[in-house]
Chain A
Amino acid sequence: MATQQTQVLGRALLTPAVALLFIWMIVPLAMTVYFSTLHYSLLDAETWSFVGLENFRYFLTDPAFLTALRNTLVLVGSVLAITILLGTPLALLLDQQVVGRSIVRLMVIAPFFVMPTVSALVWKNLLMHPVSGLFAWVATLVGATPIDWFNDVPLFAVILIVAWQWLPFATLILLTALQSQDEEQKEAAEMDGASALSTFIYLTLPHLARPITVVILIETIFLLTVFAEIFVTTGGGPGLATTNIAFLIYTQALVQYDVGNASAGGLVAVVIANIVAFFLVRIVGRNLEA
């Protein structure tokens, strides 16, 4: 049992580490808050001035902002839906005893290890290109007109690429969960004459609730900041069709060199992420406490 003395000593010894972590976190944040109140363009660096909340007003009233917000939510939502709806059956399949299971598993998980820029390039030039891509080739084989993916359905094309990258993650998490499922329970259900479907609905699905929550939480964190796939394939366009919040901030900071506005945008993004996280934890996070 720790005496008061050792407790105090323990805290004192922890202080440097905590202080370091705190500085590590607070300095960049403080800088961002500071910059967000300045009219500060890199191209006109000598005439910066304090403008208060002007940058926030400017960023939030940007005609592109609402579109970007909508695109962000559509992107996150669709990718989540695809990865979970496809990931669950995939995990169930991979859980079966089949020949060469480890190889199949490796193949299924592989896309997760491809760098986002690389996979975006592969999809853009080798698969989805309307003249020389694989899909266009298949389409002409069966006599259909090739889809001009990044022109006609740009956001959907980006969603496909991102979902392809994140599907292995969902599958992997769900697969590990399946493997911890109680075999005896399943056997008992079988002996009671339960169909495969009802076994899935009443036994497997409740068992998967928690890992699905984990997938949703972790994927949301990463999907809110999808950037490379958009940058490589569509550059946010055509128009604003594929501009998400992360990309909007990039265009503010690096194309217009507007530090103040980009900082304000960054803070808005932090707030949005927190709002999303708040609701997520409320809706799905409850599963984690059970």
Chain B
Amino acid sequence: MLNAVREVIVKHVLSALLGAATLLGAAPSVAQTSLTIATVNNGDMIRMQALTNEFTAKNPDITVKWVTLEENVLRQRVTTDIATKGGQFDVLTIGTYEVPIWAKKNWLIPLDNLGPDYDAADLLPKIRDAVSVSGQLYAAPFYGESSMVMYRTDLFQKAGLTMPEKPTWDFVIDAAKKLTDKSGGVFGICLRGKAGWGENMAFLTAMSNSFGARWFDEKWQPQFDKPEWKKTLSTYVDLMKAAGPPGASSNGFNENLALFNSGKCGMWIDATVAASFVTNPKDSKVADKVGFALAPNAGLGKNANWLWAWNLAIPAGSKKTAAAEKFIAWATSKDYTRLVASKEGWANVPPGTRTSLYQNPEYLKVAPFAGLTLASIDAADPNKPTVQSVPYVGVQYAAIPEFQGIGTSVGQQFSAALAGSSTVDAALAAAQTATEREMKRAGYIK
């Protein structure tokens, strides 16, 4: 019995020692680098994951491990990891919101080593700005988006309406009411109502910009007590009451996409990436009846469009920078776009990051929304998002660390106004108090 135990121990110790020896001896020839990549479970990222083999075939010394999560969970995991210097991930998928904040904290490695084929000059200027700090790239955009109006051409024709190229809010409101046929299950307009800084507040902030509102004045004083916000929120609530679907206060991007694809919405104002989903006959009942237009304006020189991109970045302190850079260069390159096109068709390539894509006749042929996507991205300016001047960067958010919390609690108030459990005035007053409290606590205002 004892002998058997001793035998086992000896065997294990020996094999461990042997293993260490071979590892030491052989290390220089087969140095395997294992990259852990955190990403969001959006369609384009899932596709990238499926194409990983193409990357590892070219780079046999790199293996790739994926951690794919839903947006909110990903953000929590990635933020806690980088803030506590956990070092779980070698490549992070982050939004344009995080890039300037994290870059200033030196949490990200500047990306100036992406190789000769990367062609940073080809990136759309607005997107490149959004992921750079003082001209230095800190993240590589994977896909980019703005917002625009998607509408049903057949319903518009039936109602005798013509969508202008640059619609005003007055037109949109009027059209939404005319298109609504509640007994027939058609609602004039579907908009986000689910609380969250990236859900209803993304839309409402973009909308408020077109009405001349802003989050903070130059002294970081919250502006919800100003008439511009009141006009924004009451217009939104009235419009949704008159022409929106039931249960709108729990509808986010995905819920509205499902509603639009099943033919229940006359118009939908949301992300430009949705364009390829609503025109895809496999998912959409109304694929051949969708038209596009710029996000509405109120004649003040700003449209209700936002600017967003999902990007790949490397956390500071990563010990596998070289391999991570290789991966990022591969996944955000023009070659990757061509690879997706050859496997899945041009309509499915990640949009909104490169000028060359919008000059590619093959893409323009299958993507009727390409021109408007580009125009919408161009119309958004993260450095000057509002009519009046503001101290923050970002179109549909303010790029300060506190914004996620503030945006979500303000979003809660606004969803209550939409649900009818609170009035517009009460919601605005509550938003003002909550934001003031948070900003005082964070030391922006005294």
Using a CB–CB cutoff of 8 Å, the interface residues on chain A facing chain B are: 41-45, 58, 62-64, 129-131, 146, 148, 150-152, 154, 234-241, 243, 251, 254-258
Q: Are A41 and B401 in contact (CB under 8 A)?
A: yes
Most chain B beta carbons < 10 A, residue from A131, A151, A239, A256: A239
A-B contact pairs, 5 of them (CB 8 A): A42-B80, A42-B84, A43-B79, A150-B247, A238-B195
Most chain A CB within a 10 A radius of its CB, from B101, B250, B422: B250
B211 to chain A, nearest CB (A): 23
Residues of A within 8 A of B195 (CB): 235-238
A44 with B247, Cβ < 8 A, contacts A238-B421, A251-B409 known: no
Docked complex: B244-289 residues within 8 A CB-CB of A? 245-250
Describe B's contact surface by its main secondary structure: helix
Contact between A235 and B421, CB atoms less than 8 A apart:
no
Contact A151 B402 (CB under 8 A): no
Roughly how many angstroms separate A251 CA and B427 CA in the complex, as a whole number? 19
Q: A42-B79, A241-B421 are in contact. Are A130 and B408 (CB under 8 A)?
A: no
B408–A151 CB distance below 8 A: no
Chain B residue numbers with a CB within 8 Å of A41 are 401
Given A42-B79, A58-B441, A251-B408, answer yes or no on A237-B401 (Cβ-Cβ < 8 Å).
no
CB–CB B404/A238 < 8 A: no
Question: In the complex the two chains form, is A131's CB within 8 Å of B245's CB?
Answer: yes
**Which chain A positions have C-beta within 8 A of B405?**
251, 255-258
Residues of B within 8 A of A43 (CB): 79, 83, 101, 401-402
* Contact (Cβ within 8 A) A63 B79: no
Q: What's the minimum C-beta distance from A155 to chain B, rounded to whole angstroms? A: 10
CA distance A226 to B32 in the complex (A): 46
A256 to chain B minimum Cβ distance, whole angstroms, is 3
What 15 new A-B contacts, CB under 8 Å, besides A131-B246, A151-B249, A235-B194? A42-B84, A43-B83, A44-B401, A130-B247, A154-B419, A234-B250, A237-B412, A238-B195, A238-B415, A239-B417, A239-B422, A240-B412, A240-B416, A257-B404, A258-B405
- Chain A residue with the shortest CB-CB distance to B185: A131
Q: Does B430 contact A (CB under 8 A)?
A: yes
Contact A256 B412 (CB under 8 A): no
Taking a contact as CB atoms under 8 Å apart, the answer to whether B419 and A238 are in contact is yes
Across the interface, which residues of B come within 8 angstroms of A58, CB to CB? 441
Answer whether residue B100 sits at the interface, using C-beta atoms and an 8 A cutoff.
no
Q: Which residues of A contact B415 (CB under 8 A)?
A: 237-239
